[in-house]
Structure 1
């Protein structure tokens, strides 16, 4: 997939505008450099381009698609679409369902979520900043950086970690369910040890397979380089500079308010029908470095706009981040954090999804559209209505069609979300 340097176009436009203003200011004085009168020369003002508009039809269609997310098994959902252009931007923010099934409280547009694997690009950007500063190299091996921590680490590079081409077993596939001990605190070394007991799923650099172990180790590398907890580095380098006031990396079980409650479908006793059980609060250390961030839809859109727009990484490191290393069978291009994908309408996007007990999250970004969706889900597969909402948001021509069929579970790439007690994606 061609790397998108969308910010470059915007920079050229700004520079051209600045030049025009400077020329107009010089000529408006009425004198040239030699003192001659230049007033007969006139330059017409450049008309200001109108900002994009999300049409009323599209807004209604977006809300209907979000309502469908609730009807298909989520207790609450919140989404935000930002459409940008040279003249500005327009935003739609929608909510559906309830934030708390017990009280019936409505969903807040600024609801906090455990964003699950949407955390990974935050960690990737932090590590790439350190690489850009010369404090590590993408071709450094784990044995160089973390001697003796990862079995076979002498063959695994930082580039392989960030692109999921390391072959490391995803430790969460052999973990006890969250509900068994929600307050259990896990050390990252314990998580890596689980992966070590299984060995690699393929030789490093020969294939691609999503693995949470990669980002546990990436967080450990950040700590080795900086001498500080990885959460502090992410906060100081990414969260605070971008003023993501709704974003944090909590150390304990508590969630900030307003919060969208999360639920699992659990049987109260053997043979009973599964019922939604609140799983909002649990210790997140079992997803150390890979899925610990808490955020809002607006903050996630802001982060991705800044990331793809060149505000987070210098140009060489952004080029590295957006360099696809391998493509999976379901069409995802794995770069160093973000993943590329082509939607059914032909629009190429950068994206990431997240799955953690009780929550399913998506963020999808094209050149001029930024869409993030959080859903508090408790059914086995919440993806079909969510993917329909993504296509509605990112393929605006389809929004005007009165009867757009929703995709079936075989029409889109999907990570495993059936193991609700463990969270296969993280």
Structure 2
């Protein structure tokens, strides 16, 4: 066990029995894993939204998507949703609810808590069919999984390929990531996939589904997350301007294309966290000090405080 894993374990506590960690500083990178190895892949959850934001900015730079593109230009959606700008989806300011599906999704959420079932079960066609009942509210900052589902699938439509392929071809392959992928069914999970577990330590269903993929479907490893952090810090990752704050969000936070920037333990950090039925994640960079941290645990117990402490300690070193 490396000093990184030992310190992360101390901060997380004994109930985090399986986790991966990556730390990047100006002096190098350190990776480790407990309960798996550095190539064991884990669910990043909503950290995926940051990757989707990068894919959007990359598509704009390629000329595939206009800066002011509307959702209806790319996906077959009801008229009210069709007038939403992709930029509004990327900053959670489109006036969309957190989820589509209404009362049915409430029942699925209960099934998640009761038996660990994945509440996201639609393919893209099923997601689009749910939109007839979605009401667009007054635009203001409001976190929306639905918004990022639609953003990612719209960018994928502009590129003429599924979202999962877009992640592989425009993020994983250019950066040399070997464990980063988007399974859209349980059958697509790789042999090294870490089992998701709930707060009590019981195994639950992985979140492997086409509809939710752009909002929470990317899996990665400690080894790949170290490469991702370095590319974020040196801005060699495609769509790097997604990291740059564009608009106010909540409290003292500002938001770029998915990525939040604001104070964290007296530092300015650009970050996103995530939670699925069996994982909690945090990926963040402190650009002023040239350090980055990724921490993902196979449990529904938060890793945010431990990750923030690791990042602050790295910046002080």
TM range (shorter): 0.7 to 0.9
Distance in 1 separating the partners of 2:248 and 2:74: 24
Secondary structure class of the residue paired with 1:349: strand
TM-score for both structures, normalised by structure 2: 0.84
> In structure 2, which of residues 58, 65, 71 is the aligned counterpart of residue 136 of structure 1?
65
Flag the structure with more relative contact order, 1 or 2, with Cα contacts below 8 A and sequence separation at least 6: 2
Alpha-carbon distance in 1 for matches of 2:316, 2:236: 31
Work out whether 1:248 is the aligned partner of 2:181: yes
Deviation of 1:61 after TM superposition, in Å, equals 8.0
Over the aligned positions, Cα root-mean-square deviation in angstroms equals 2.9
- The question of 1:372 aligning with 2:301 is answered no
Q: State which of 116, 124, 130 in structure 2 corresponds to 1:188.
A: 124
TM-score (norm 1): 0.64
Find the residue that maps to 2:214 and give its secondary structure: coil
Q: Choose which of 91, 102, 111 in structure 1 pairs with 2:40.
A: 111
- Which of 268, 290, 311 is equivalent to 1:348? 268
Contact 2:184 2:213 in 1 (8 A): no
Q: Is the 8 A contact 1:62 1:392 kept in 2?
A: no
More helix per residue: 1 or 2?
Answer: 2
**Structure 1: how far apart are the matches of 2:213 and 2:4?**
38
- Taking the aligned partners of 2:314 and 2:74, their CA distance within structure 1 comes to 49
Query: Within the alignment, does 1:67 sit opposite 2:10 as a pair?
Result: yes
Alignment: residue pair count: 305
* Of 208, 230, 240, the match for 1:305: 230
Check whether the contact 2:163–2:213 (CA below 8 A) recurs between aligned residues.
no
Cα pair distance change 1:253/1:282, threshold 3 Å: farther
How far apart, CA to CA, are the structure 1 residues paired with 2:120 and 2:217? 15
Change in CA separation of 1:353 and 1:180 when aligned onto 2, cut-off 3 Å:
closer
Structure 1 segments of 4+ aligned residues over 6 angstroms from their partners: 397-400
Q: Is the CA contact (8 Å cut-off) linking 1:171 and 1:192 kept in structure 2?
A: no
Which of the pair has more CA radius of gyration?
1
Is the CA contact (8 Å cut-off) linking 1:191 and 1:213 kept in structure 2? no
Counterpart in the other structure of 2:25: 83
Give me the whole-angstrom Cα distance separating, in 2, the residues matched to 1:296 and 1:305: 14
Q: Is the 8 A contact 2:71 2:85 kept in 1?
A: yes
> What corresponds to 2:93 in structure 1?
165
CA contact (8 A) 2:278 2:298 kept: yes
Relative distance call for 1:285 and 1:246 in structure 2 (3 A) is same
State whether structure 2 residue 312 is matched by structure 1 residue 387.
no
The structure-2 alpha-carbon separation of the partners of 1:283 and 1:320, relative to structure 1 and needing over 3 Å to count, comes to: closer
1:292 to 211, 214, 217: 217
2:118–2:205 CA contact under 8 A, matched in 1? no
Distance 1:293 1:133 in 2: 23
Partner of 1:335: 256
Partner of 1:278: 203
Work out whether 1:323 is the aligned partner of 2:245.
yes
8 Å CA contact 2:271, 2:283 repeated in 1: yes
